Amino acid sequence: MLPEIQYLSPTTVDEALNMLYENKNARILAGGTDLLIELKKLPINENVTLIDISKINELKYIEDEGDFISIGPLITHQELSRNEFIKKWFPFLSTACSSIGSPQIRSRGTIGGNICNGSPAADTPPVLVALDATVTLKNKDGERELLVSDFIIAPYKTERKPSELLTKIRLRKLIPGYGFSFIKLGRRNALAISRMNIAVAMLVKEGVIEDVRIACGSVFPTTMRVPAAENFLAGKKPSIELFKDVGEIVSNEMVRISGYRWSTPYKKPVISAMVKNSLVEAVGRRVI
């Protein structure tokens, strides 16, 4: 059962920003697939102000901006997984989006919501973090752009100020030749929360790794890249042995950063294997 709700429904970004300014404790409702579950856990006599941004058409877009693709926060997982631009430039984002929840969740859930919810097990952040994607936050006073990796600061905690609205997600196109992969490990084959997930983008030139980004979810307190692993790979020739070594590096980083937990005996060998496999897949799966 939901608590008491004061419902606001802006149709423009400006209107929404005014409402956010005036309602400091308001929650932002988009697809509702995370927020409504959370609200149902509140005491029923609590008062919540909801700003439903789902009618703001200017937040629904996927645009080719030359070097960048920008995505409106209200684009659903469904739309992202089927979009031709995304499939062409960031096929692993399509993969990640189509692995989320179920068809019903994908037709309501939005990329903006997936980022702002800040779940450590969310499926789009690894891809976005690997791509150094940015989010644009706007309030009445102006806007700022920051990396997704800087935006999500702790489990279920982001840099968003109460007055701010996420208005854009921007991804830099990678030059042709990059390989991509997204691997998710769930207990089930559908309706699965990621036990761990990983996104890799890698450029191999003349047999040598020129650039590589590895980002893992549910491995560190927040989704983040693993510089120790990336640096180790740079300039080396791809091989299974090399990828196995990198897997070890990532798993050691996990224990170093996240500490030894109940799940570590399982997660440690498995993230190591997932790193190896995602690197292998990235060698084979390149953007044209």
Partner 1 sequence: MGYVKVRFELNGRELELEVPSNITLVELLRERLNLTGTKKGCEIGECGACTVIMNGAPVNSCLVLAPQVDGSRITTIEGLSKNGKLDIIQKAFIEAGAVHCGFCTPGMVLSAKALLDKIPHPTIDEIKEAISGNLCRCTGYWQIIKAIQMASEML
Partner 2 sequence: MSAWAVGKRTPRIDSIGKVTGKAIYADDIKLPGMLYGKVVRTKYPHAKILNIDISEAKRVKGVEAVLTAKDIPGVNRVGVAITKDQPIIADDKVRYMGDALAIIAAHDLRTAQFAASLIKVEYEVLPVIEDPEEALFEASVKIHDKGNLICHHKVRKGNIDAGFSEADIIVERKFETQMVEHSYIEPESAIAEPLDDGGVRVFGCMQNIYTSRRILAQVLNLPMNKVVCVQTTMGGSFGGKDDAMNILACRVALLALATGKPVKITYTRDESMIDSYKRHPYKMYYRVGLKNDGTITAAEIKIYANGGAYASMSEFVTWRSVVHATGPYRIPNVSTDIYAAYTNLNYTGAMRGFGSPQIALAYETLMDECAEKLGIHPYEIRKKNLLRTGDTTATGQVLDGKVSLNEVVDAVCEASDFINKYTEYKNNRARPGIRKRGIGLACSYRGVSLGAEGVDYGTCFLKLEEDGTLIISIGITDMGQGARTVQAQFAAEILGLTLDRISVLDINTSRAPDSGPTVASRGTLISGNAITNAAQKIRRNLELACEQLIGKTSSGFIFENNMIINPENGRAVSIKDAAAKAIKMRLPIHAEGFYPAPQTSWDEATGQGLAYFTYVYGANVAEVEVDMETGKVNVLKVWASHEVGKAVNPEGVEGQIYGGIAMGLGLGILEEFEFKNGVPQTTNFDEYLIPTSMDIPEIECRIVENPDPIGPFGAKSIGEPTNELAAPAILNAIFNATGKRISETPANLEVVLLGHKLKR
Q: Where do contacts with partner 2 occur on this chain (CB under 8 A)? A: 1, 43-45, 185, 187-191, 193, 195, 262-263, 265-266, 269-270, 273-274, 277
CB-nearer residue toward partner 1: 46 or 63:
46
Q: CA–CA separation, 262 vs 120, rounded Å? A: 17
User: What H or E segment, with its residue span, contains residue 213?
Assistant: strand 208-217
CB-nearer residue toward partner 2: 134 or 218:
218
Q: CA–CA separation, 74 vs 32, rounded Å? A: 11
Residues ≥6 apart with Cβ < 8 Å to 244: 272, 276
From the CB of 250, what's the least distance to partner 2, in Å? 14
The answer to whether 202 and 287 have CB atoms below 8 angstroms apart is no
> Residue 104's binding partner, choosing from partner 1, partner 2, none, with beta-carbon cut-off 5 to 8 A by kind?
partner 1
SS3 (DSSP) at 8: strand
CB-nearer residue toward partner 2: 40 or 157:
40
From the CB of 92, what's the least distance to partner 2, in Å? 19
Tokens of 27: 């929650």
CB-nearer residue toward partner 1: 33 or 218:
33
From the CB of 146, what's the least distance to partner 2, in Å? 31
The answer to whether 249 and 229 have CB atoms below 8 angstroms apart is yes
Q: CA–CA separation, 119 vs 121, rounded Å? A: 5
Q: How many other CB atoms sit within 10 Å of the CB of residue 157? A: 11
From the CB of 263, what's the least distance to partner 1, in Å? 22
Interface residue list for partner 1 (CB under 8 A): 2-7, 9, 29, 31-33, 36-37, 40, 50, 52, 54-55, 78, 101-105, 107-108, 189-191
Q: How many other CB atoms sit within 10 Å of the CB of residue 64? A: 12
> Residue 156's binding partner, choosing from partner 2, partner 1, none, with beta-carbon cut-off 5 to 8 A by kind?
none
> Residue 9's binding partner, choosing from partner 2, partner 1, none, with beta-carbon cut-off 5 to 8 A by kind?
partner 1
CB-nearer residue toward partner 2: 7 or 61:
7
Residue linked to tokens 């440690």: 268
SS3 (DSSP) at 100: coil
> Residue 108's binding partner, choosing from partner 2, partner 1, none, with beta-carbon cut-off 5 to 8 A by kind?
partner 1
From the CB of 75, what's the least distance to partner 1, in Å? 14
Q: Which alpha helices (DSSP H) does 143-239 contain, by range?
A: 148-151, 227-233
The answer to whether 276 and 243 have CB atoms below 8 angstroms apart is yes
Residue linked to tokens 């939901």: 2
From the CB of 103, what's the least distance to partner 2, in Å? 11
The answer to whether 112 and 160 have CB atoms below 8 angstroms apart is no
> Residue 78's binding partner, choosing from partner 2, partner 1, none, with beta-carbon cut-off 5 to 8 A by kind?
partner 1
From the CB of 247, what's the least distance to partner 2, in Å? 10
> Residue 122's binding partner, choosing from partner 1, partner 2, none, with beta-carbon cut-off 5 to 8 A by kind?
none
SS3 (DSSP) at 135: strand
> Residue 288's binding partner, choosing from partner 1, partner 2, none, with beta-carbon cut-off 5 to 8 A by kind?
none
